[in-house]
Chain A
Amino acid sequence: MKKPIKTTMSSNLSSEAFDEKKLRKVIAASSVGTLIEWYDFYIFGSLSVVIATKFFPSDNPTAAFLSTLATFAAGFVVRPFGALFFGRLGDLLGRKYTFLVTLLIMGFSTFAIGLIPSYSSIGFLAPILVLTLRLLQGLALGGEYGGAATYVAEHAEPNKRGLRTAWIQTTASLGLFISLLVILATKKSMSLEAFNDWGWRIPFLISIVMVGISYFIRKNMEESPLFAQAKSEGKIVANPLKESFGKKLNFKYVLLALFGATMGQGVVWYTGQFYALSFLQKVANIEFEQSNYIIALALAAGTGFFIFFGWLSDKIGRKGIMLTGMLIAILTYRPIYQAMYEQADVKLKTEKPNSRQIRTDYHMIDGSVTLNKVTRTIYSYTDGSQLLEETTEKVSHIPSIQKEKPLIKKTVHVGQQSFIWLVLMVFIQVLYVTMVYGPIAAFLVEMFPTAIRYTSMSLPYHIGNGIFGGLLPAVATYLAAKANSANELAQAAGQVLPYSKPYLEGLWYPIIIGGVCFVIGLLYINGKDREIND
């Protein structure tokens, strides 16, 4: 294959560049900052329900519109733009300066979200401010990852690049893990009312302390030796965007990185962490706190494998590990999710005799002649699981008022054995994530030359993650909902149900995207290119 246009640069870096102590400092400074950025980005997502009630009241269409914009725009649109904007800066001005700026933007935005008065206090200004700050978060995140990965890779020894950059790869999962822990700890330390009232602001506010520490560590770091050398030799390109995307010899590698690696990595990442959580909560109906503990434990157990697979990729190559992870993932997702579903399915459990607890309450509805009748039934099972079934129906003594269909909410608290099984199932998925994601920073860095590296690797990464990965919840929900309605229609017509397991239909999205990416990666990626000093 023809090589991309690469600025030739001598690779005679001094041995000082590979000094172990210095390298550790570089890795720590880069990883801590990136971890904090992921933490900042995730707390918004994890607290989206509380944020929606405070800033985006659902009965107001404009506020609901702004809420949708905050969700879609920050996740899909702004991240790739951040990659382009900060990638260009990083290739022109330097890696260190650029990822200091992204850190400060992220820290400021997160802290400020924690300070915004609610919609009930300042009206529409509240959702507009939240939306603006969320967009800034997306922009900063788009610029952060490429900078940190490039900075570490350009300091690392050629034979340990996978190991060194793997630390950056742990940050996304650790950021999610810490965000879950901080939210759970804050929730535990106060009543639910206090948390919903003001306590949700704490995870946002404490971010400023972490950002401050990380800023001062990063501030004292030196510029990447490869970038500094390129700059001193006058090898910096005037227009990195034009160079990356306007020239076929570089652009074809941007496309290959996207369709042969980051697209599949994005869906494996989102399935193993976000879709798993959403599946536990919305499909398996496992209670909020327990489902978060399942994810947090699996993340804690799996995160070390990012380092392992990064190290292994230095020994046996990056392509094989990433594609093996992708292949095993797409082959085993359906059996894994089936097993997860069964662990929470109370139809497969034995109910304890004489253990059912039923309580009925009536609640007045303001300005209405009807009452809300809430029946809470707790079913206990021999394996320690419990099902809380809450049925809410409107009752009235006036016969002319039409009866509505009762609302039924089910929440499952699984027993210890099922809990362990569920942690194991999610852990296996995290393991796939570590195989696909662990070596990818080194892989992307090695694909592009120093002069356009920040720009060229950031864009496919954020399109792969933000768009292909970010689309996963919407598309998977759409596929599952379509299967459910097809089943309902068939049932109403007395026909055979077209889908035996509609809850697994959403998995076709990661399976198909991952499958296409696997084939492209297998056919087109050159697994032997480890050159960076170009």
Chain B
Amino acid sequence: MNYIRRFAGAIWILLGVAAAYFLIVEQAIPLFTKGDMESLVPAIIYTFILAPIITGGMCVFGIYALQNEYEL
């Protein structure tokens, strides 16, 4: 099981990258290009709050898993 725990880390890193793509490319950029003030708030939140937390968190979690930090 520890082997699976360790190598699943790569999946979490990929998921983090996929979340960044979804939040920035799919969500934030279309909102930024709309240009109105109402769309700007969610666009800023997606780019500068959510993407760093979700992507950063998932990637660090994946790296820790690859380093065998979660061995049971």
Contacts and interface: CB of A to CB of B under 8 A. Distances in A.
Given A1-B70, A64-B38, A69-B41, 10 more contacts: A1-B69, A64-B37, A248-B69, A251-B60, A478-B27, A519-B8, A523-B8, A523-B70, A524-B5, A526-B72
- Report, as a range, how many residues of chain B touch the other chain: 20 to 34
Interface residues of A, number: 30
Contacts of A516: 15
Contact of B57 (A2, A69, A77, A255): A255
A68 interface: yes
Interface string B27-55: 10000000011101110010001100110
A72 B38 contact: no
Contacts of B38: 61, 64-65, 68
A506 B66 CA distance: 33
Interface string A37-80: 00000000000000000000000011011001100110011000
Nearest to A528: B72
A72 B5 contact: no
A62 B72 contact: no
Interface of A: 1-2, 61-62, 64-65, 68-69, 72-73, 76-77, 248, 251-252, 255-256, 258-259, 463, 467, 471, 474, 478, 516, 519-520, 523-524, 526
Nearest to B57: A255
A73 B44 CA distance: 11
A251 B4 CA distance: 21
B58 interface: yes
Sorted from nearest, which 5 A-B pairs have the closest CB atoms? Answer: A65-B37, A255-B61, A524-B70, A68-B41, A252-B64
Nearest to B58: A259
Contacts of B40: 65
* Chain B CB within 10 Å, residue with most, of A248, A255, A526: A255
Given A61-B36, A524-B5, A467 B53 contact: yes
Nearest to A516: B15
A134 B54 CA distance: 25
Main secondary structure of the interface of B (DSSP, over half): helix
Residue picked from B27, B49, B70, B72, most chain A C-beta under 10 Å: B70
B37 A467 contact: no
A252 B71 CA distance: 12
A474 B42 contact: yes
Contact of B72 (A1, A72, A258): A1
15 contacts: A1-B72, A2-B71, A61-B38, A65-B40, A68-B41, A69-B41, A76-B45, A248-B64, A252-B69, A255-B64, A259-B61, A463-B53, A516-B15, A523-B1, A524-B5
Contacts of B54: 467
Contact of A467 (B15, B50, B58, B69): B50
Contacts of B72: 1, 524, 526
A77 B45 contact: yes
A259 B71 CA distance: 16
Contacts of A1: 69-72
A478 B53 CA distance: 21
B36 to A, nearest CB: 7
Contact of B4 (A72, A76, A523): A523
B49 A77 contact: yes
A266 to B, nearest CB: 12
A73 B45 CA distance: 8
A76 B69 contact: no
A76 B5 contact: no
Contacts of B12: 259, 520
Nearest to B8: A523
A258 B61 CA distance: 10
A471 B71 CA distance: 31
